[in-house]
Chains A and B, each alone.
Chain A
Amino acid sequence: MVMLKELSKEELVLPGNASCTGCAASLALRLTLKVMGSRTIFVVPACCTSIIQGQFPASALNIPVLNIAFAATGAAASGVVAGLRIRGIKDVAVIGWAGDGGTVDIGIQALSGAAERRTDFIYICYDNEAYGNTGMQRSSATPIGAWTTTTPTGKKENKKDMAFIMAAHRIPYVATAIPSYPIDFIEKLEKAKKIKGTRYLHILTPCPPGWRSDADLSVELGRLAVQTGMWVLFEIENGVFSISSPSRIVLDKTKRKPVEEYLKLQGRFGHLTTEEVAGIQKAVDATLDYYMKLSGQRVYPLLTD
């Protein structure tokens, strides 16, 4: 088990970055770089981190960063990996770091291609469930019911299940995480770091301006997301699905907090009727039942290498 106090003291996300108050993505960024260390190259498409890293001539990220076009993360990272390999540079990790829009929508093709080619890199999607830096428009990672500027009466469709889409590529490691559970987060990234091939982490990152929530509640909201079962922490390691310990407890329905506790703290769900909340509760319960059955199971056959 990882001890937080053993975590690197080096801050590769420098003070003075341009994230919004209460930005959980910046927490995820900080934890990620603490685990990955300075021998890391980041490939970043248009996303909140385009802003968080700051404006020229300053940069809040003390590692090499390639900013790239919105759809291009998976492909550009493939190129970086290939370029490093042909030049004989061996001990540098490549991270694709993208928001939900850049991952589940416009970037899905390049990411799918990179995963299918077994590109040796880690792809991290930090998911605030909408296009945050353009002012909160719906993405296919926006959950059902949520208000965004392009779903003024709430989104009618379900959130795209990107982790399972990535698992369908039969990559060695897929995990979900959230900065509110830093030990789980760090352990997963440490594990991913040691694996070869494409590794995918999907991180839920509460977003006060977009979620219409109080900036001091971002960590708490992340905990509630897990405790209500709205966000489930799991791993798919070489095809085997397992629920991570913070989420294991909520598999027991009696230990599961009602989704309302999570929803009511966010203005984006403020318009929901009692029936709609009940609908979300039903969907969460069904998902957790499904995950319980899946626990310890293989979601894709082990392929001979």
Chain B
Amino acid sequence: MLKTIVETGNHVAGLAALVARAQVVAAYPITPQTQIVEKIAELVDSGKMNAEYICVESEHSAMSACIGASTVGARTFTATSSHGLAYMHEMLHWASAARLPIVMAVVNRAMGPPWNIWTDHGDSLPQRDTGWIQIYCASNQEIFDSIIQAYRVCEDQRVLMPAMICLEGFILSHTNMPIRIPDQKEIDDFLPPLEPGWVLNVEKPVTHGNMLSPEYYMELRYFMHEALQNAKRLIPQVAREYSKKFGLPEYSGLIEQYMCNDAEVIIVSMGTIGSEANLAVEKLRNEGYRVGSARIRVFRPFPHEAVKEIATRAKALAVIDRDISFGMEGILFTEIRSALFDLPKRPLAKNFIAGLGGRDVTQNDIEEIAKKTFRILETGTGVEGIEWVNMRR
């Protein structure tokens, strides 16, 4: 039985931690994530949530405490944003290499300086090589669903890796949307209690994380890579099972596609730009453009195969990055182009940098991006270089 509620993205994230029965939450407040920790503090304090809530003194400590709790077999949750995520960077490596299924909400916010509290993906994308699963959401419903599903995926013995569920600051974090949530009993059925991969146990003492020589180190890294490959198979399966069980959206697993099948130009994006892109597609289709939208939902593990499959049918990809790798190009663009490389016939790919530091990316902007890509197709010029959308010159 689904119940419809209206909540902000932040409250939804807190609620998901509650119904996932997270046992230890260690978190530090940062705008625009604060409502998540406030919500959980309130839930724990009122006795509605049976969890240990550790009000740590930094994000580095938030992740360290989650690691400590997870090593003794507790299901853990945390949330952060921007500089907080950067501050916990060291411990992100520690969590994944210790193979701990920690789930974290990341409220995407631009990095300073200058201070900017609004959204872009420049905080979480640079964490791509830490071994964390990264899922980017386009609605509050997806935040809820992704957190519940993430525990199932992360705690699977074939995975045992942590996940960050990314939601854009203010656009999702502070926006009320209706969401449908299943009964606690049904969630419990879908998500049984954690069976840890390993625990610190006085009955059977082990030393975890001591010095390891070059003889063994590479194998451990190989296992982590393999675990994320397993996650790539598991994420769509779990999404399908969840969707079937609860009658909630499946988001096509790794990439949400909209009218891609016969599209000449496909708009590739992440997060809420993806849902805006769907509206742009509808409008452009009415104007006669054969255009589609592919929203990369899961960025790590990267859906190489699915990207290739979509790209085979298209003539051009318009890749919108809400981030920039300085001196290179958009981070998503690099990944997409890498996936295209071994296609026998590659579509064109054009990179659009948009919406940094919370600048709006409107439906109209996306229509223009698509039209520009059609023009590149027609004229055969202009594919080189990065297009900075709506930039003052």
Contacts and interface: CB of A to CB of B under 8 A. Distances in A.
Interface of A: 38-41, 43, 50-51, 53-56, 59, 61-69, 71-72, 74-87, 89, 92, 109-110, 112-113, 116-117
A100 to B, nearest CB: 20
Given A55-B213, A56-B210, A64-B200, A72 B64 contact: yes
B54 A41 contact: no
Interface stretch (B55-63, B115-123, B257-265, B321-329): B55-63
Given A50-B211, A67-B208, A82-B24, 12 more contacts: A38-B205, A59-B207, A62-B205, A64-B200, A64-B202, A66-B200, A72-B61, A75-B58, A75-B60, A79-B24, A80-B200, A110-B57
Given A64-B200, A117-B54, A75 B61 contact: yes
Interface stretch (B5-13, B67-75, B280-288, B353-361): B67-75
Given A68-B64, A75-B65, A56 B72 contact: no
A56 B213 contact: yes
A86 B202 contact: no
5 contacts: A64-B200, A67-B209, A84-B72, A87-B72, A117-B54
A8 to B, nearest CB: 15
B211 A83 contact: no
B207 A82 contact: no
A69 B58 contact: no
B211 A82 contact: no
Given A79-B64, A86-B74, A116-B57, A66 B209 contact: yes
B26 interface: yes
Given A68-B94, A113-B57, A80 B207 contact: no
Contacts of A69: 64, 90-91, 94
Interface residues of B, number: 42
Nearest to A92: B202
A75 B55 CA distance: 10
A86 B23 contact: yes
B52 A85 contact: yes
Contacts of A74: 61
A83 B53 CA distance: 10
Contact of A79 (B51, B60, B69, B216): B69
Contacts of A83: 23-24, 52, 68-74, 76
A59 B66 contact: no
B183 to A, nearest CB: 23
